[in-house]
Amino acid sequence: MLALVIGWKRYVSTIRDKTATLYQAVVCKNLYNQFPDILVNKISVRDMVAFFEKQEQINLKRARTILVQARSAINWCISRQVIDSCELMCRNFSRCLQ
């Protein structure tokens, strides 16, 4: 997760201030400590699905928001080679949540 945190900080520095504040409030608050000591590219789809299913039970809209914003940040990190890949970015991941 360290590479993602570093990449996240770089990503947030490239977007508008209000958007960065929103992303930090949602994604950092909800994802930061969810997968301790696991590299972001080693987090399995099963673990991601379990996390998002729990979030959906709490608040469906927030779960979707976390997913969209996390995918945006992870895609930015991948495109700048901060991380190699992440299963969250697979095309069918959203279907796993339905």
| CATH code (residue 22) | 1.10.150
The range of the structural domain enclosing residue 38 comes to: 2-96
Low pLDDT (below 70) residues in the chain: 1-9, 87-98
pLDDT value for 95: 52
pLDDT value for 4: 55
CA–CA distance from 72 to each of 7, 27, 37, 57, 58 (Å)? 12, 11, 22, 23, 22
How open is the CA angle 81-32-79, to the nearest 5 degrees? 15
Cβ atoms of residues 1 and 35 within 8 Å: yes
Q: Which two tokens stand for residue 44?
A: 């399995």
pLDDT value for 5: 58
pLDDT value for 92: 55
* Count of structural domains, the chain: 1
pLDDT value for 79: 80
pLDDT value for 88: 66
Say how far apart CA 94 and CA 98 lie, in whole Å.
7
pLDDT value for 83: 76
